[in-house]
């Protein structure tokens, strides 16, 4: 808000600027919303209606987009015939499970890393974060071998662990930043009052709780939106929403209506969650480098 | 056509029922749980050759198998009726369906890792069968085994349509069968009869012959038709484009698309190998020879008059383009007839579309002295058994495989979701015979004359190339071909590039 | 790295308490509280996470190295070939093309995302509806890339896609869809990335702009400097470290995720969008050439790690220390 009252002079230039900004924002708004809107409306369209386009150049007939009888049959089809309730549950369980495990293990590790100085700490820290940077395609085959060896392929437990491979390093990295900001004096005080070291750790948890909550959600978001792991590791028994949606592209007909409906079902909850943690989003998506 | 995968049956078997079925029987008959794979469970009740058919069917009652399949109608239909199989055998089968490339990924990782998470495998002839043949069990030993229930029709080459058993079952070794024909995709021509009739007079004025489609129609005619439609379109008339090719993301069907053209002209083959058996050491490829360069030129010429979005359209998208009435012809797989004839999704439905065999070779384009044929190719999806699985799982898998390709099942798939039978006896059914004529209850049957009575027979049918590196070969070919179509390299250079890379892959 | 005490978790907790009891005994000597706490307690706290990470990262890493030295053929046989896979990569055009395209793709994504994203931040900063607008703009980021790929595929389709219709109606494109031409396919996949990730740049830039020292801005305003000059002279230097971080993060994500490309073009047409990870996917999961695939994967991994190192350097640089202090 630093610069708000600074730009106060009304010059012709600033007026043009103002008009320009309004136009730009309007365009960007349209650019952002149009694909989402088309997805949303198409999910209520019958296949033939979804394929209706006005003649090229006929902007006056753009209303054709809204010219359809809404049908909820695609949603019905998804949940009743195509087993999407199972996939939805799989998504919730595996994304949620991995988020919780990541944040629990992650906060313990991050706390220790924050409080404990030892030789090689920067290297250890870098190693932790590098496990998240690894291109998924590059490590998928050996990971599959490990998971197969542990009989985890096609199970929700396996998928939870698979998501943890990218969520845990993320959680450690971010939460360390949070603990770094909590003065050691608080633990000292608590220990002086006679609590154990572990109780002292628990005592400072409320201070970082909002952050932790936000990162649980962010971990859910990453896991929920994952495609490669869930299609290879979760194959069969633990299919989540993104691979289930992609599978609606079938050899003899692409079920666009159902795909759009599945897109809505997959995306809406995440948008809602995104709203909830809006404040922590920058921090999370920049791995803690930027605070808002 | 929406599939309705019911909940897999095993979820409805309570633990107690399970014990009754398997464990109970085990105690009584001295059997036990023999092998537990990833998702498979094995229960066995020994039988003798003299045992009743029912006993043979039920010998693996209580077992569970996983079938990894492509998301095509037969698998949906079998999944819908999986209870029939369970009632007959007591074996639970979980059917997983995926896109073919994903099936390949999953099956590949499974078998290469020495595992058998998927004891029953959908083995599309070249991409999976030829690539992973070493990991598929030989059906020969099961067929001869009289302690297993056998199909009354047997499994000889003559119970299937011509060449089908060889196409998906014969890989590299004579006498070994790695898969039984499960479903089929055979190419034929789909064209807009209504438009052909409407414009034939105009066409005749320019080209001095009628615009029609028969088994004698050549690739040159197709080029003429496509050119004619494009001119009309560019003159501002409300007509579709004439033609489009299979050039999108799916490399295999791109290879098949040009293979039809090449085989039509002197039966050109990619490698000098046995077309039926294929070879693990194919030697240098024939790409780069005079025929291939000529065909590449003609393919490019056809691309130039095709639908403008040619490069974006794979097989699936191509069919959508045809359905939406934007092209007047496509060489397409006969399994797509059902979707084209579906009034709810297609503007080409309701008698507008007619079917013909793949186009004939044009004599003047032949460079190698061979003869002109109606080059037809296919993807025969076989059902195969994972060799890594234990003997008993393999035997149980065999019981399921024979069920999946049985006449009864194929017939019900055809009448239900619109499948593509592989067994001759299915076509002999009176209502299937009736469906070959409009109005048809089974639209796929409209193509049967072009496909089963003509295309798949010698000399038109090409099965290969069956080589272990087939998937990389497809990708190389598709990449260079599309570069040529996009105008980024000349046909000569495209052929040379294909030869260089293919020979490199095959260690020449 | 983890102390190999034979005790289980229960006895550990006990260990921990003993130290604490020790601390309580010397309660009246506060100075000693500043002493470094016993390391074993912290090690136990770290152990579970480190074990999980080790299991899922060390084994794959060595597996990749080992596999890259093998030739995996079509059959089950595996043959040790030394560095042959790497030598072959040297003459593999698709490998080099993959790198070039990966950088090209990343460059275009970065260029447009930074330009649009920063501009959007400038426009939004202090705007009446800043909060609600940014919230709306963030929505694409929440969408699974695989789904975004499908949705945009639907929009771009030349038969029924509304965006194609729009492009055609505006005369930008002919009848060929954006992903159906070798000239425009790259633009198609870049567009989706811009749609999803420009808001991240905006968000980061906004966070940076909130921290631009106010007195500097005011001083300049009095001088009558225009908003743009003001931005270049003061704001940009201030948000520069933020942008650097954003660039590197996006860059690494382009290495990691290929969902959108796989759905939209699969690397086509004519391989103009076959960035290295897509090629790697083909080699490992379509051809099952695990030896060659591992060699490619290792090169990708190494470059990613180098980028990671650079990123961490930026994190720890004095410039970005300001980022935290501003908090």
Q: Choose the mutation target among A143, A237, A251, A254 for the interface with B, i.e. most B CBs under 10 Å.
A: A251
- B382 touching A, CB under 8 A? no
Same domain for A258 and A125: yes
Please judge whether B475 and C266 are an interchain contact, meaning their C-beta atoms are less than 8 angstroms apart.
no
Q: Is the bond leading into B114 cis (omega within 30 degrees of zero)?
A: no
| Higher per-residue confidence, B194 vs C326 | B194
| Residue B446 near residue B188 (C-beta atoms within 8 A) | no
Q: Which residues contact A195 (CB under 8 A, 6 or more apart)?
A: A203, C20
Calculate how close chain A gets to C133, using CA atoms only, in Å.
8
On chain A, the residues whose CB falls within 8 A of the CB of C297 are 135, 137-139
- CA of C182: which chain B residue's CA is closest? B486
Q: Over 80: is that where the pLDDT of B189 sits?
A: yes
A12-42 and C93-124 helices, crossing angle to 10°: 120
Please judge whether C182 and B312 are an interchain contact, meaning their C-beta atoms are less than 8 angstroms apart.
no
Q: Name the residue ranges covered by the structural domains of chain C.
A: 1-56, 88-325
What's the confidence (pLDDT) of residue A146? 83
Same domain for A163 and A114: yes
| Residue B381 near residue B128 (C-beta atoms within 8 A) | no
On chain C, the residues whose CB falls within 8 A of the CB of A61 are none
What's the confidence (pLDDT) of residue B465? 92
Same domain for A39 and A84: no
- CA of A192: which chain C residue's CA is closest? C27
What's the confidence (pLDDT) of residue A116? 83
* Greatest Cα-to-Cα distance within chain B, rounded to the nearest angstrom: 83
pLDDT > 70 fraction of chain B, expressed in percent and rounded: 92
| Higher per-residue confidence, A181 vs B461 | B461
What is the bridge-based pairing of β-strands B92-98 and B64-70? parallel
Pick from B224, B314, B299, B227: nearest CA to B262: B299
Same domain for A125 and A60: no
What's the confidence (pLDDT) of residue C320? 55
Q: Over 90: is that where the pLDDT of C108 sits?
A: yes
Same domain for A96 and A194: yes
- Could you count the other beta carbons within 10 Å of the beta carbon of residue A189? 14
* B interface residues, C as partner, C-beta within 8 Å: 101, 104-105, 108-109, 112, 114, 131-132, 134-135, 247-250, 280, 307-313, 317, 320-321, 324, 326, 468-469, 471-472, 475, 478-479, 482-483, 485-486, 488
- A11 touching B, CB under 8 A? no
Identify which of B8-12, B483-487, C50-54 has the greatest average pLDDT: B483-487
The Cα–Cα gap between A248 and A257 comes to 10
pLDDT band at C192 (very low <50, low <70, confident <90, very high): very high
- A123 touching C, CB under 8 A? no
Closest CB to A28 among C46, C49, C120: C120
Domain contains A7:
no
What's the confidence (pLDDT) of residue C8? 36
Q: Using CB atoms within 10 Å of the CB of residue B27, give its burial: 0 to 12 exposed, 13 to 18 middle, 19+ buried.
A: exposed
Sign of CA dihedral B329, B335, B341, B342: negative
The chain-wide mean pLDDT, for chain C, equals 80
End-to-end C-alpha distance for chain A, whole angstroms:
12
On chain C, the residues whose CB falls within 8 A of the CB of B110 are none
- Average pLDDT of the segment spanning B259-263: 95
The chain-wide mean pLDDT, for chain B, equals 86
On chain B, the residues whose CB falls within 8 A of the CB of A252 are 1, 72-73, 316, 319, 335-336, 338-339
Calculate how close chain C gets to B38, using CA atoms only, in Å.
20
Same domain for A234 and A173: yes
Q: List the CATH number of the domain containing A84.
A: 1.10.3720.10
- Average pLDDT of the segment spanning C186-203: 93
Please judge whether A249 and C150 are an interchain contact, meaning their C-beta atoms are less than 8 angstroms apart.
yes
pLDDT band at C224 (very low <50, low <70, confident <90, very high): low
Given A43, A73, A103, the domain boundary residue is A73
| Residue A124 near residue A172 (C-beta atoms within 8 A) | no
The Cα–Cα gap between B276 and B157 comes to 13
Which stretches of B305-405 are DSSP H helices?
315-323, 337-340, 391-404
CA dist list (Å): C50 to A168, A220, C45, C53: 10, 21, 9, 5
Structural domain of residue A32, as residue ranges?
12-73
- A271 touching C, CB under 8 A? yes
- Average pLDDT of the segment spanning B368-385: 92
What's the confidence (pLDDT) of residue B329? 94
What's the confidence (pLDDT) of residue B245? 94
| Residue B269 near residue B306 (C-beta atoms within 8 A) | no
The Cα–Cα gap between C16 and A202 comes to 14
- CA of B281: which chain C residue's CA is closest? C74
What's the confidence (pLDDT) of residue B37? 43
3-state secondary structure of B302: helix
Closest CB to B98 among A48, A247, A253: A247
Residue that the structure tokens 């359905």 belong to: B323
| Higher per-residue confidence, A153 vs B365 | B365
Same domain for A162 and A68: no
CA dist list (Å): B345 to A252, B241, B284, B327, C161: 12, 19, 45, 15, 16
Sign of CA dihedral C100, C105, C110, C116: positive
Same domain for A46 and A152: no
Pick from B8, B67, B48, B51: nearest CA to B401: B67
pLDDT band at C165 (very low <50, low <70, confident <90, very high): very high
Q: Over 70: is that where the pLDDT of B77 sits?
A: yes
- The topology under which CATH files domain B187-378+440-505 is D-Maltodextrin-Binding Protein; domain 2 (3.40.190)
pLDDT 10s digits, B84-99: 899 999 999 988 888 8
Residue that the structure tokens 């079952």 belong to: B169
Q: Over 90: is that where the pLDDT of B349 sits?
A: no
Tell me where in chain B the CATH 3.40.190.10 domain(s) lie: 9-185+382-431, 187-378+440-505
| Higher per-residue confidence, A144 vs B493 | B493
H or E stretch covering C67: helix C39-68
Please judge whether B316 and A249 are an interchain contact, meaning their C-beta atoms are less than 8 angstroms apart.
yes
Domain contains A4:
no
On chain C, the residues whose CB falls within 8 A of the CB of A25 are 120, 123-124, 127, 133
- Average pLDDT of the segment spanning B100-104: 86
CATH superfamily of C88-325: MetI-like (1.10.3720.10)
Arch. (CATH architecture) of B9-185+382-431: 3-Layer(aba) Sandwich (3.40)
Closest CB to C48 among A108, A124, A165: A108
What's the confidence (pLDDT) of residue B447? 92
Which of B8-17, B102-111, B297-306, B483-492 is the least confident region? B8-17
Please judge whether A105 and C151 are an interchain contact, meaning their C-beta atoms are less than 8 angstroms apart.
no
pLDDT band at C226 (very low <50, low <70, confident <90, very high): low
What's the confidence (pLDDT) of residue B330? 94
The Cα–Cα gap between A258 and C316 comes to 47
Which of A138-142, C83-87, C272-276 is the least confident region? A138-142
What's the confidence (pLDDT) of residue C221? 56
Q: How many CA atoms lie within 13 A of C124 on its CB side?
A: 30
Instruction: Establish, for the pair of chains A and C, how many residue pairs have beta carbons separated by less than 8 Å.
Output: 320
What's the confidence (pLDDT) of residue C74? 66
Domain contains A290:
no
Same domain for A207 and A69: no
On chain B, the residues whose CB falls within 8 A of the CB of A141 are 109
pLDDT 10s digits, C21-40: 444 433 344 444 544 456 77
Q: Over 60: is that where the pLDDT of B19 sits?
A: no
What's the confidence (pLDDT) of residue B485? 94
pLDDT band at B464 (very low <50, low <70, confident <90, very high): confident
Chain centre distance of CA B252:
11
Please judge whether A290 and C208 are an interchain contact, meaning their C-beta atoms are less than 8 angstroms apart.
yes
pLDDT band at C216 (very low <50, low <70, confident <90, very high): low
Q: Over 60: is that where the pLDDT of B15 sits?
A: no
The Cα–Cα gap between B111 and C122 comes to 56
Residue that the structure tokens 């260029």 belong to: C111
| Residue B465 near residue B477 (C-beta atoms within 8 A) | no
What's the confidence (pLDDT) of residue C317? 67
pLDDT 10s digits, B21-56: 333 333 333 333 333 345 677 788 888 777 888 888
Calculate how close chain C gets to A8, using CA atoms only, in Å.
10
pLDDT band at B420 (very low <50, low <70, confident <90, very high): confident
Task: Tell me how many degrees the CA angle C133-A5-C202 measures, rounded to the nearest 5.
Answer: 30
pLDDT band at B440 (very low <50, low <70, confident <90, very high): confident
Calculate how close chain C gets to A132, using CA atoms only, in Å.
9
Closest CB to B71 among A48, A141, A251: A251
Same domain for A129 and A50: no
C38 Rama class: left (phi>0) / alpha (psi -120 to 50) / beta: beta
- CA of B1: which chain A residue's CA is closest? A253
- Average pLDDT of the segment spanning C225-242: 74
Residue that the structure tokens 């090229």 belong to: A56
A47 Rama class: left (phi>0) / alpha (psi -120 to 50) / beta: alpha
Instruction: Return the DSSP state at B245.
Output: -
Give B158-162 contacts, CB < 8 A, sequence gap 24+.
Answer: B158/B424, B159/B423, B159/B424, B159/B425, B160/B422, B160/B423, B160/B424, B161/B422, B161/B423, B161/B424, B161/B452, B161/B456, B162/B456, B162/B457, B162/B458, B162/B461
Closest CB to C147 among A109, A133, A267: A267
Same domain for A183 and A43: no
Closest CB to B39 among A231, A236, A253: A236
Domain contains A3:
no
Which of B27-36, B53-62, B295-304 is the least confident region? B27-36
The Cα–Cα gap between A199 and A201 comes to 5
- Domain total of chain A: 2
Q: Is the bond leading into B312 cis (omega within 30 degrees of zero)?
A: no
What's the confidence (pLDDT) of residue B441? 86
pLDDT 10s digits, C245-262: 788 888 888 888 889 999
H or E stretch covering A92: helix A84-115
pLDDT in tens, chain A (292 residues): 444 444 455 677 778 888 888 899 999 999 999 999 999 999 998 877 887 888 888 888 888 888 888 889 999 989 988 889 999 999 999 999 999 999 999 988 998 888 888 888 888 888 888 888 888 888 888 888 788 778 888 889 999 999 998 899 988 888 888 888 888 888 778 777 777 777 788 878 888 887 788 889 989 999 999 998 888 888 777 889 999 998 888 766 778 889 999 999 999 999 999 888 887 887 777 777 676 6
């Amino acid at each position: 808000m630093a610069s708000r009252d600074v730009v106060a002079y009304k010059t012709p230039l600033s007026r043009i600027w103002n008009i320009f900004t309004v136009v730009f924002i309007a365009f960007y708004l349209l650019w952002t919303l149009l694909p989402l809107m088309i997805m949303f409306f198409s999910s209520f369209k019958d296949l033939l209606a979804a394929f209706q386009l006005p003649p090229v150049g006929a902007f006056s007939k753009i209303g054709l987009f809204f010219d359809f009888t809404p049908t909820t049959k695609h949603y019905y089809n998804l949940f009743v015939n195509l087993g999407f309730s199972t996939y939805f549950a799989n998504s919730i369980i595996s994304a949620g499970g991995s988020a919780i495990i990541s944040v629990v293990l992650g906060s313990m590790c991050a706390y220790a890393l924050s409080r404990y100085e030892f030789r090689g700490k920067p290297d250890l820290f870098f190693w932790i974060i590098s496990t998240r940077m690894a291109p998924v395609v590059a490590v998928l085959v050996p990971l599959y071998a490990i998971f197969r060896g542990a009989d985890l392929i096609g199970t929700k437990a396996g998928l939870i662990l698979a998501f943890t491979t990218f969520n845990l390093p993320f959680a450690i990295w971010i939460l360390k930043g949070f603990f770094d900001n909590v003065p050691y004096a608080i633990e000292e005080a608590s220990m002086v009052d006679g609590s154990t070291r572990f109780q002292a750790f628990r005592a400072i948890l409320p201070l970082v709780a909002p952050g932790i909550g936000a990162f649980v959600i962010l971990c859910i978001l990453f896991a929920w939106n994952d495609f490669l792991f869930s299609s290879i590791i979760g194959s069969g028994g633990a299919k989540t929403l993104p691979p289930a949606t992609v599978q609606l592209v079938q050899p003899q007909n692409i079920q666009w209506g159902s795909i759009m409906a599945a897109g809505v079902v997959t995306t809406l909850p995440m948008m809602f969650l995104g709203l909830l943690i809006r404040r922590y989003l920058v921090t999370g998506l920049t791995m803690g480098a930027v605070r808002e | 056509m929406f599939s309705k995968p019911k909940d897999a049956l095993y979820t409805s078997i309570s633990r107690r029922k399970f014990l009754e079925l398997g464990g109970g029987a085990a105690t009584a008959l001295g059997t036990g749980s023999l092998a537990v794979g990833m998702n498979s469970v094995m229960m066995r009740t020994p039988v003798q050759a003299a045992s009743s058919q029912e006993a043979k069917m039920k010998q693996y009652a209580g077992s569970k198998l996983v079938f990894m399949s492509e998301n095509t109608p037969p698998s949906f239909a079998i999944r819908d009726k999986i209870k029939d199989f369970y009632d007959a055998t007591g074996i639970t089968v979980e059917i997983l369906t995926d896109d073919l490339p994903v099936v390949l990924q999953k099956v590949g990782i499974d078998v290469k890792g020495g595992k058998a998470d998927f004891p029953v495998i959908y083995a599309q002839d070249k991409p999976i069968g030829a690539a992973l043949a070493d990991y598929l069990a030989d059906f020969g030993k099961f067929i001869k085994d009289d302690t297993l229930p056998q199909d009354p029709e047997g499994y000889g080459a003559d119970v299937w349509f011509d060449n089908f058993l060889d196409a998906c079952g014969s890989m590299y070794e004579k006498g070994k069968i790695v898969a039984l024909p499960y479903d089929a995709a055979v190419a034929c021509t789909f064209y807009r009869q209504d438009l052909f009739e409407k414009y034939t007079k105009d066409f005749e004025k320019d080209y001095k012959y009628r615009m029609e489609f028969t088994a004698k129609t050549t690739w040159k005619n197709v080029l003429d038709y496509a050119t004619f439609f494009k001119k009309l379109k560019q003159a501002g008339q409300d007509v579709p484009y004439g033609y489009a090719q299979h050039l999108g993301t799916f490399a295999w069907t791109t290879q098949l698309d040009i293979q039809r053209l090449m085989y039509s002209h002197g039966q050109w083959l990619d490698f000098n190998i046995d077309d039926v058996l294929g070879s693990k050491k194919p030697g240098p490829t024939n790409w780069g020879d005079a025929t291939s360069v000529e065909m590449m030129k003609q393919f490019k010429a056809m691309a130039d008059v095709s639908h403008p979005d040619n490069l974006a359209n794979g097989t699936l998208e191509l069919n959508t383009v045809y359905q939406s009435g934007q092209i007047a012809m496509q060489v397409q797989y006969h399994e797509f007839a059902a979707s084209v004839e579906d009034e709810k999704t297609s503007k080409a439905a309701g008698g507008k579309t007619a079917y013909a065999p793949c186009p004939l070779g044009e004599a003047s384009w032949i460079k190698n002295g061979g003869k002109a044929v109606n080059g037809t190719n296919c993807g025969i999806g076989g059902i195969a058994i994972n060799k890594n699985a234990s003997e008993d799982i393999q035997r149980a898998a065999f019981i399921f495989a024979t069920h999946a390709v049985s006449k009864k099942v194929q017939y019900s798939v055809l009448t239900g979701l619109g499948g593509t039978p592989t067994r001759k006896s299915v076509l002999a059914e009176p209502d299937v015979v009736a469906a070959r004529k409009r109005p048809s209850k089974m639209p796929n049957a409209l193509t049967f004359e072009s496909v089963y009575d003509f295309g798949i027979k010698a000399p038109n049918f090409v099965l290969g190339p069956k080589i272990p590196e087939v998937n990389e070969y497809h990708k190389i070919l598709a990449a260079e071909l599309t570069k040529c179509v996009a105008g980024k390299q000349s046909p000569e250079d495209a052929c040379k590039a294909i030869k260089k890379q293919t020979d490199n892959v095959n260690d020449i | 790295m983890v102390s190999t005490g034979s005790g289980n978790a229960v006895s550990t907790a006990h260990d921990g308490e003993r130290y604490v009891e020790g601390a309580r005994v010397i309660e009246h000597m506060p100075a000693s509280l500043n002493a470094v706490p016993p390391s074993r307690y912290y090690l136990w706290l770290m152990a579970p996470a480190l074990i999980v990470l080790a299991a899922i990262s060390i084994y794959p890493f060595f597996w990749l190295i080992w596999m890259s030295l093998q030739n995996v053929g079509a059959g089950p046989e595996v043959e040790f070939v030394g560095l042959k896979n790497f030598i072959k990569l040297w003459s593999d055009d698709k490998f080099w093309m993959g790198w070039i395209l990966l950088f090209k793709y990343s460059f275009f994504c970065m260029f447009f995302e930074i330009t649009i994203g920063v501009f959007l931040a400038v426009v939004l900063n202090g705007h009446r509806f800043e909060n609600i607008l940014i919230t709306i703009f963030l929505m694409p980021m929440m969408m699974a890339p695989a789904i975004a790929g499908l949705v945009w595929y639907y929009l771009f389709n030349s038969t029924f896609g509304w965006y194609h219709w729009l492009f055609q109606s505006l005369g930008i494109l002919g009848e060929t869809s954006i992903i159906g031409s070798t000239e425009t396919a790259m633009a198609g996949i870049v567009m989706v990335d811009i749609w999803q990730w420009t808001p991240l740049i905006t968000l980061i830039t906004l966070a940076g702009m909130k921290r631009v020292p106010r007195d500097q801005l005011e001083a300049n305003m009095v001088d009558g400097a225009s908003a743009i000059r003001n931005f270049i002279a003061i704001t940009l230097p201030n948000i520069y470290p933020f942008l650097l971080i954003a660039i590197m993060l996006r860059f690494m994500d382009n290495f990691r995720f290929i969902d959108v490309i796989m759905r939209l073009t699969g690397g086509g047409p004519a391989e103009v969008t076959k960035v290295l990870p897509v090629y790697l996917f083909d080699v490992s999961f379509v051809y099952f050439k695990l030896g060659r695939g591992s060699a490619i994967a290792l090169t990708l991994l190494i470059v990613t790690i180098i980028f990671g190192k650079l990123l961490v350097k930026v994190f720890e640089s004095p410039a970005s220390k300001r980022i935290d202090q501003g908090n």
